[in-house]
Amino acid sequence: MTEQDSPRSPLPANVRVMIALTASPTLLVVGMLLYTIFVDGWQKVTVSMIIFSLLCILAYYVVITGRPPRLHFKKRN
pLDDT digits (tens, 9 = 90+) for 11-53: 888 999 999 999 999 899 999 999 999 999 989 999 999 999 9
The answer on pLDDT for 67 being more than 60 is yes
- Where do the domains of the chain lie? 13-65
Secondary structure of the chain: what % helix, strand, coil (to 5)?
60, 0, 40
pLDDT score of 6: 52
Q: Give the CA distances from residue 16 to residues 34, 44, 51, 55, in Å, rounded to whole numbers and listed in that order.
A: 26, 33, 21, 15
Question: Is residue 33 within 8 Å of 7, Cβ to Cβ?
Answer: no
The answer on pLDDT for 4 being more than 60 is no
| 35: phi then psi, degrees, rounded to nearest 5 | -60, -45
Distance CA 43, CA 32 (A): 14
Q: What pTM was computed for the model?
A: 0.73
